[in-house]
């Protein structure tokens, strides 16, 4: 396959090639105030809507639509290591009030190019399929960051993915791998809307896999008396017991019973939520009293111990307004459970990590440390989207350094009109600089890139 259609010099707006360092600096420049001028004067894109489409022309020319393009990309580390990867699980994120299909991945690419001259690479899984999730996750994590976009399907309904070359199991397998790739040499992942829901489902899948493999393992090589394995089995038995018996309740109705229920992690929201919403700090509800107290306690401890960026923004910034566009939501019970289980498993593994490191369970050392719910929104006067954002924390075993990835139910890349760039004019730098959602997206990338 010819590579003549792909730029190998990173960046398109500046006089010099972009680098992760220059991109990070320009993200910081964008965040430092709300009124400084563009670093690329005269380079605001005058968009021709027919050209601002993936695969048509720069800067959207890099589309990995199948094995041929992926093989080509693997031979060009100077491209993928200097770019942000955008993963599409579906061809659009929904239909807006104007009746338009919204391809929000273009907005991600536009924003990053305008603010920091950062290139994007598109992975349309609905078109390409997902043949080798492990290999793809390794490529994605080698770049500056990975953004997993939204889409119409429901995580709990496999049939809703019909018509795509990647079913829900294929996409969840990739998200599983992405959640296990956050390390000192990886970029952060940001999961948006359907991506946020896929991440929640994947977290429970990984915990179930951990409990299953611990139960089935016969011995650990450095554990001749079986003390470490018995400890792991006891903890995983406790996690399984809570997971199997935890109910999800909405409006007084039990909609899921236990972690084997297809709607345990994600379920229909009480009402479709679309439009501008104020982002509110997460607060424990009295209606969640059916959740074991130790899950609430673990979450309160993580919230006090760690900083998830969005929670700090809610305290330090002015009122934050963002754009909601969804009918499903992550269940609060599942998020609280995942946080408690990850933290319990991590703390158990700390003194056992050497025994685990030389065993088939070594992958457990790549699991998150904790998952904090950071914010919520009001769907209407009676209902909340309780889990509107989360921070996924990872703790380095030897240095105790914290790394973060993030999930968001809302679309920080969409303006108030819920339209994609190309169907609407591209916002100029000043408009982006004063947009709460864009500022939040860039702050997540800026902090994630430091880790």
Residue 35, judged by CB atoms within 10 A of its CB (0-12, 13-18, 19+), counts as: exposed
d(CA 86, CA 153): 18
Token pair 């955008």: residue: 86
Q: Residue 361 — φ and ψ, nearest 5°?
A: -90, 10
Name the CA dihedral angle for 331, 285, 377, 375, rounded to a multiple of 10 degrees: -80
Cis, peptide link before residue 59, omega less than 30° from 0: yes
Structure tokens at 65: 């639509």
Beta strand 189-192 with 145-148: parallel, antiparallel or unpaired?
parallel
d(CA 307, CA 70): 36
If we measure between CA atoms, which residue out of 161, 141, 148, 164 comes closest to residue 88? 148
Mean pLDDT of the chain: 93
Mean pLDDT of 2-11: 79
Q: What is the CA radius of gyration of the chain?
A: 21
Structure tokens at 447: 């902090």
Tell me the pLDDT band of 1, cut-offs 50, 70 and 90.
very low
Predicted TM-score of the model (pTM): 0.96
Mean pLDDT of 322-344: 93
d(CA 238, CA 244): 10
Mean pLDDT of 379-400: 90
Supply the DSSP symbol for 376.
E
Tell me the pLDDT band of 421, cut-offs 50, 70 and 90.
very high
Mean pLDDT of 136-143: 97
Q: Measured on CA atoms in the order 207, 389, 191, 7, is the torsion positive or negative?
A: negative
Span 69-123, pLDDT tens digits: 999 999 999 999 999 999 999 999 998 889 999 999 999 999 999 999 999 999 9
Helix (H, G, I), strand (E, B) or coil at 165: coil
Mean pLDDT of 176-202: 96
Structure tokens at 196: 């946020």
Run of H or E residues at 275: strand 266-278
Q: Decide which of 3.30.465.10, 3.40.50.300, 2.40.37.10, 3.40.50.880 is the CATH code for 20-449.
A: 3.40.50.880
Helix (H, G, I), strand (E, B) or coil at 248: strand
Bridge partner residues of 329 (DSSP): 267
pLDDT for position 46 = 52
The answer, yes or no, to whether residue 18 has pLDDT greater than 80, is: yes
81, 18 contact by CB (below 8 A): no
Span 251-301, pLDDT tens digits: 889 999 999 999 999 999 887 777 788 899 999 887 778 999 999 999 999
d(CA 323, CA 277): 6
Phi-psi region of 234 (alpha: psi -120 to 50; beta: other; left: phi over 0): alpha
The answer, yes or no, to whether residue 400 has pLDDT greater than 70, is: yes
Give per-residue burial for 311-334: e unless 16+ CB within 10 Å, then b: bebbeeeeebebbbbbebbbbbbb
């Amino acid at each position: 396959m010819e590579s003549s259609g792909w730029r190998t010099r990173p960046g398109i707006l500046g006089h010099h090639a972009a680098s992760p360092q220059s991109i990070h600096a320009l993200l910081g420049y964008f965040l430092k105030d709300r009124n400084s001028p563009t670093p690329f004067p005269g380079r605001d894109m005058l968009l021709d809507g027919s050209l601002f489409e993936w695969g048509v022309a720069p800067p959207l020319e890099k589309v990995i639509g199948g094995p041929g393009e992926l093989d080509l990309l693997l031979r060009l580390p100077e491209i993928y290591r200097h770019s942000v990867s955008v993963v599409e699980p579906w061809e659009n994120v929904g239909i807006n009030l104007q009746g338009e299909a919204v391809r929000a991945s273009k907005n991600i690419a536009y924003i990053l190019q305008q603010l920091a001259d950062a290139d994007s690479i598109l992975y349309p899984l609905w078109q390409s399929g997902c043949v080798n999730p492990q290999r793809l996750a390794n490529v994605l994590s080698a770049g500056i960051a990975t953004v997993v976009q939204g889409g119409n399907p429901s995580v709990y309904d496999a049939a809703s993915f019909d018509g795509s070359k990647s079913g829900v199991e294929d996409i969840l397998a990739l998200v599983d791998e992405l959640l296990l790739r956050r390390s000192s040499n990886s970029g952060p992942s940001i999961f948006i809307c359907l991506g946020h829901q896929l991440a929640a489902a994947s977290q429970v899948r990984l915990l179930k896999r951990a409990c299953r493999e611990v139960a089935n393992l016969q011995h650990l090589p450095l554990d001749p008396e079986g003390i470490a394995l018995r400890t792991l089995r006891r903890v995983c038995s406790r996690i399984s017991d809570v997971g199997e018996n935890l109910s999800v309740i909405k409006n007084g109705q039990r909609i899921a019973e236990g972690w084997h229920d297809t709607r345990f992690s994600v379920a229909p929201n009480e009402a479709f939520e679309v439009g501008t919403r104020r982002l509110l700090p997460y607060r424990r509800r009295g209606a969640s009293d059916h959740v074991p107290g130790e899950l609430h306690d673990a979450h309160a401890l993580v919230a006090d111990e760690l900083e998830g960026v969005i929670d700090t923004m809610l305290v330090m910034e002015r009122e934050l307004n963002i754009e909601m566009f969804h009918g499903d939501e992550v269940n609060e019970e599942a998020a609280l459970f995942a946080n408690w289980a990850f933290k319990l498993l991590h703390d158990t593994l700390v003194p056992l990590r050497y025994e685990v490191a030389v065993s088939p369970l070594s992958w457990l050392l790549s699991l998150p440390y904790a998952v904090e719910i950071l914010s919520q929104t009001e769907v209407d006067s009676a209902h909340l989207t309780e889990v509107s954002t989360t921070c996924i924390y990872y703790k380095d075993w030897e240095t105790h350094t914290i790394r973060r990835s993030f999930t968001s139910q809302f679309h920080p890349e969409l303006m108030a009109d819920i339209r994609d760039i190309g169907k609407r004019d591209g916002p100029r730098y000043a408009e982006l600089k004063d947009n709460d959602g864009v500022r939040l997206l860039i702050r997540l990338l800026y902090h994630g890139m430091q880790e």
